[in-house]
Amino acid sequence: MTIARVDRPRRAPSAAAGAGGADASSLRRRHRRRSRLTALAFVTPLLAYLAAFYVYPLYRNLDLSLRDYTVRSFVAGDAPFSGWHNFRTVLDDPTFGPAMRHTMVFTFVSIAFQYAIGLALAVFFNRHFRLAPTLRALFLIPWLLPLIVSASSWSWMFNSESGVVNYFLHFLGVSPVGWLTSPDWALTSVIVANIWIGIPFNLVILYSGLQNIPAELYEAAALDGASAWQQFRRITFPLLRPVSAITLLLGLVYTLKVFDLIWIMTKGGPGDASSTLATWSYQLGFGTLLPKFGPGAAVGNILILIALVFGLLYIRVQRRQEA
Amino acid sequence: MIPTRRTLLAALAAVGTLASLTACGGGSSSSSGSSSGGSGGTYAFWDPYPQFNASSAWGKLVTSCGTKAGVKLKRTAYDTTDLGNKALLAAQQGNAPDVMLVDNPVVSTLVEAGILNKTSDLGLDTKSIQKNIIGAGTLDGASYGVPIGANTLALYYNKKVLSAAGVDPASVKDWNSLTAALKKVKGAGKKGITFSAINTEEGSFQFLPWFWGAGGDLTKLDSAKGVAALSLWKQWVEAGYAPKDVLQNTQTTSWQEFATGEYAFGENGTWQLGNAEKAGFDYGIINIPAQNGGSAPVPTGGEFVTVPVQKDTGRYDVSKKIVTCLTSDANLLPTDTTLQYIAPTAAVQATQVKQNPKLKPWVDAVAAARGRTSGGLGTKYPTISQPMWTAVQAALSGGKSPQDALATAQQSAQKG
């Protein structure tokens, strides 16, 4: 928008200097209108993009969740408006409680570990030892792998019969664990895999945040006799707070909607021991031979709402920090 | 001003990242030719066989059937789990394909959506098709498709493992003798049986022979008979006769376990015959036993050729010619040989057995098979199948007793 303005209006009076005063003002007005049109032309692609890829899908999803869709009315397009009925169905479903709980546990445990490990690694790599760049690059691998590859690998490693994890446990004299086949372990297993995948993201963002902390602060602290832990507590952590906040928020939104990892590893099973709102939404909409689009969309909307709440929370916190 | 704009932007960003999750796949590339009936023009054909490309025998057959009907047939292959939803979306957009091959339990869903034509309306002849096979595509007495072939389940066994354990496969006649055989195999240091109890339709498909073999009724999941079937599976897993990872097994991974040569039995389908020849050990096949002896009823698998509803009814004449060509006896034989299916007509079955005597037990199994959506279940089946596979998972993973798991399943099946 600023580019579009290119101080053309300011030059306009000088160009029209010879003409009468009335003429000059109309010319100025015309110029202003043109610059506004230019501005609009620059914004239009963005608006079109937002409308096509954000507003319309969201509207469709809301529409799906507020109508009573059967396969027949889905095809015919004459589904009757049913208000909050789909939401009520979903909230009354015995799957809702566990799915909500699993979503929260999955999200918060994943984020806590991803952030803690990511921060520890970032501080570690910030010490600029030899091989640090190489090692840091290696840590990015989980992020670069297609999710289908990493999720399948984890699924093989955790296999209760032939998985490498149980193989090592066997050497340690521990009896095999049904990582993905026991309801007590399935959620833990997908969380472990998700933490592994999320560490690089936290590492990269926190590492770049560390680069922005002036080295003088550490020098001064060292002169004053601050220990390494004190330097971390009093300098690194407070100065990293804005970066931490955005890392955590993005991580939260990403983790809330994680679907593919869980679907590939357990499909929400056994039973519904590892089903989250995201997998349940898919299960309802596409997982059976008879799709239930309405309730599926309702679950999706609940997820969006949760993400929105956290987004607004972030903005509030940030504004208070700036004030 | 600035804070509000930022609020809006951040809210949009938060919403946007989630929008990808909820935007249910848009209309896919599908083309039903715009030119109306008569000679010439392009007709759209969908099937769930992405493993066959245009130069395969199947691809060539499809093309030639189009040519014979005087049109160009444009074939698109989808993943089988994807095809049903793709068809619904296409019908909603008004561009359903002219001819479509779909998995048999999907037929009733598509009929419910009102997008399939009755075979009688099209004037297709289905008299020679075995009743139980076409049953999966029959609703209220009218059939909505012609089966291209059928497959079903039986027990593959490893001859070497069984003889080492001193088990005669002929002695396996009911559940008790099967469990006794598994016990002997385990005692001999080998593994018992592998199957697929995954939480998808595949898991229900594999559980049904046992459920029906106990005399179970899909409308009463928690009857004593259903509980007996689930208890049998649970007992096997708990005793170590079946591995714990059956909970994750698809039919493909279950086959891979059996193909290691460690397992005595593997519950799997006709379509693994080609792999069985390559497995490198002697194998045999027995029908899945019912609880008290005899063969258990097994579910039919396999696809139906259907003709989706078009705005331009003039296209049906050509579509009918294409369906007749694909399901003619002369073409069924090579098709079912390629797909490793059993033909749906007695005449072609006889030729198949003549060519490959090993198919005999499969022909018998198909003759005794039932459609999952048969018996008036139709679109009720999906709402029963999902709670059923959830119950199987809950019981086998140790979370619930078979009785409790099936009682919960019955409750949610009744809610629909």
In three-state form (DSSP H/G/I as H, E/B as E, the rest C), the secondary structure along A192-229 is HHHHHHHHHHHHHHHHHHHHCCCHHHHHHHHHCCCCHH
What is the percent of chain A where pLDDT is above 70?
93
Chain B residues 273-332 within an 8 A CB cutoff of chain A: none
Percent of residues in chain B assigned helix, strand, coil, to nearest 5: 50, 15, 35
The reported pLDDT for the residue numbered A110 is: 96
Residue A166 has pLDDT above 80, yes or no: yes
Cis-peptide into B334, omega within 30 deg: no
DSSP B345: B
Q: What is the chain B residue with the closest CA to A159?
A: B245
Look at residue B340 and tell me if it is in a domain. yes
- Strand order in B99-103's β-sheet? B72-77, B42-47, B99-103, B303-306, B146-147
Please tell me whether residues B123 and B165 are part of one structural domain: no
Among the ranges given (A15-24, A107-116, B49-58), the one the predictor scored with the smallest mean pLDDT: A15-24
Instruction: Sort out which chain A residues have CB atoms less than 8 A from B88's CB and list them.
Output: 71, 74-75, 291
Give the pLDDT band (50/70/90) at residue A7.
very low
The reported pLDDT for the residue numbered B216 is: 92
Please tell me whether residues B136 and B275 are part of one structural domain: no
3-state class (DSSP) for residue B264: strand
Instruction: Sort out which chain B residues have CB atoms less than 8 A from A60's CB and list them.
Output: 23-24
Residue A173 has pLDDT above 50, yes or no: yes
A132-137 CB contacts, 8 Å cutoff, 24+ apart: A136/A203, A136/A207
The reported pLDDT for the residue numbered A4 is: 43
The reported pLDDT for the residue numbered A20 is: 54
Instruction: Sort out which chain B residues have CB atoms less than 8 A from A75's CB and list them.
Output: 88, 91-92, 113-115
Please tell me whether residues B317 and B250 are part of one structural domain: no
The reported pLDDT for the residue numbered B368 is: 86
Alpha carbons B326 and B310: distance in angstroms, whole number: 20
The reported pLDDT for the residue numbered B27 is: 36
Look at residue B69 and tell me if it is in a domain. yes
Please tell me whether residues B254 and B396 are part of one structural domain: yes
Contact B11 A53 (CB under 8 A): no
User: What mean pLDDT do residues A130-145 have?
Assistant: 86
Look at residue B71 and tell me if it is in a domain. yes
- Count Cα neighbours of A164 within 13 Å in the Cβ-side half-sphere: 5
Please tell me whether residues B63 and B137 are part of one structural domain: yes
Which of B128, B64, B119 is CA-nearest to residue B308? B119
Please tell me whether residues B294 and B179 are part of one structural domain: yes
The reported pLDDT for the residue numbered B402 is: 95
B412 in A contact zone (CB under 8 Å): yes
CA of A95 to nearest chain B CA: how many angstroms apart?
10
Give the pLDDT band (50/70/90) at residue A228.
confident
Among the ranges given (A267-271, B73-77, B95-99, B196-200), the one the predictor scored with the smallest mean pLDDT: A267-271
For residue range B47-80, list pLDDT tens digits in order: 998 888 888 889 999 999 999 999 999 999 998 8
Residues A293, A66 contacting (CB under 8 angstroms): no
**b/e B277-298 (16+ beta carbons within 10 angstroms → b):** eebeeebebbbbbbbeeebbbb
Look at residue B13 and tell me if it is in a domain. no
- β-bridge mates for residue B99, sequence order: B45
Alpha carbons B97 and B165: distance in angstroms, whole number: 54
- Count Cα neighbours of A17 within 13 Å in the Cβ-side half-sphere: 4
Per-residue tokens: B67: 């040519």
Where does residue A7 rank: exposed (0-12), middle (13-18), buried (19+ CB within 10 A)?
exposed
Give the pLDDT band (50/70/90) at residue B411.
very high
The reported pLDDT for the residue numbered B43 is: 94
The reported pLDDT for the residue numbered B36 is: 41
Look at residue B305 and tell me if it is in a domain. yes
Better-scored residue on pLDDT, B23 or B96 = B96
Per-residue tokens: A55: 């507003």
Chain B residues 346-385 within an 8 A CB cutoff of chain A: 379, 381-383, 385
Per-residue tokens: A27: 């010319």
The reported pLDDT for the residue numbered B40 is: 66
Per-residue tokens: A122: 């970032």
Q: What is the chain A residue with the closest CA to B246?
A: A181
Torsion of CA A10, A15, A16, A17, to 10 degrees: 90
Per-residue tokens: B319: 């579509």
Please tell me whether residues B211 and B293 are part of one structural domain: yes
Contact B19 A57 (CB under 8 A): yes
> How many other C-beta atoms lie within 10 A of the C-beta of residue B393?
29
The mean pLDDT of chain B is 87
Tell how far CA B211 is from the center of its chain. 17
> How many other C-beta atoms lie within 10 A of the C-beta of residue B317?
13
Look at residue B327 and tell me if it is in a domain. yes
Q: How are beta strands B142-143 and B191-194 bridged, if at all?
A: unpaired
CATH number at residue B218: 3.40.190.10
The reported pLDDT for the residue numbered A22 is: 66
Give the pLDDT band (50/70/90) at residue A295.
very high
B92 in A contact zone (CB under 8 Å): yes
Contact A161 B408 (CB under 8 A): no
A94-102 CB contacts, 8 Å cutoff, 24+ apart: A94/B408, A94/B412, A95/A272, A95/A275, A95/A280, A98/A272, A98/A275, A99/A272, A99/A275, A99/A276, A99/A277, A99/A279, A99/A280, A99/A299, A100/A277, A102/A187, A102/A274, A102/A275, A102/A276
For residue range B263-296, list pLDDT tens digits in order: 999 999 988 988 888 888 999 999 999 999 888 9
Q: Which of A259, A271, A281 sits opposite B390 (nearest CB)?
A: A271
- As for the ipTM of the complex, it is 0.79
Give me the number of domains chain B comprises: 2
Residue B320 has pLDDT above 70, yes or no: yes
Please tell me whether residues B281 and B310 are part of one structural domain: no
Residue B25 has pLDDT above 50, yes or no: no
User: What is the reported pTM?
Assistant: 0.83
Look at residue B288 and tell me if it is in a domain. yes
Q: Which of B19, B200, B383 sits opposite A290 (nearest CB)?
A: B383
Tell how far CA A22 is from the center of its chain. 56
For residue range B93-106, list pLDDT tens digits in order: 888 999 999 999 99
Number of residue pairs across A and B with CB atoms under 8 Å?
A: 175
Its sign, for the CA torsion B19, B24, B25, B31, is negative
Give the pLDDT band (50/70/90) at residue A55.
very high
Q: B1, B6, B8, B21: which to substitute to probe chain A, counting the most A Cβ within 10 Å?
A: B21
User: What mean pLDDT do residues A204-216 have?
Assistant: 91
Which of A60, A106, A144, A158 is CA-nearest to residue B25? A60
Contact A161 B257 (CB under 8 A): yes
The mean pLDDT of chain A is 87
Residues B224, B215 contacting (CB under 8 angstroms): no
Give the pLDDT band (50/70/90) at residue A254.
confident
Contact B88 A272 (CB under 8 A): no
Q: What is the chain B residue with the closest CA to A179?
A: B245
Which of A125, A146, A304, A218 is CA-nearest to residue B18? A304
Per-residue tokens: B76: 């698109």
- What DSSP line would sit under A234-296, residue for residue? IIIHHHTHHHHHHHHHHHHHHHHT--HHHHHHTTT-STTTT--HHHHHHHHHHSSSS--HHHH
For chain B, the C-alpha Rg in angstroms (whole number) is: 23
The reported pLDDT for the residue numbered B254 is: 93
Please tell me whether residues B71 and B200 are part of one structural domain: no
Structural domain of B280: 153-299+375-415
Please tell me whether residues B276 and B393 are part of one structural domain: yes
Look at residue B61 and tell me if it is in a domain. yes
Please tell me whether residues B216 and B287 are part of one structural domain: yes
Please tell me whether residues B197 and B334 are part of one structural domain: no
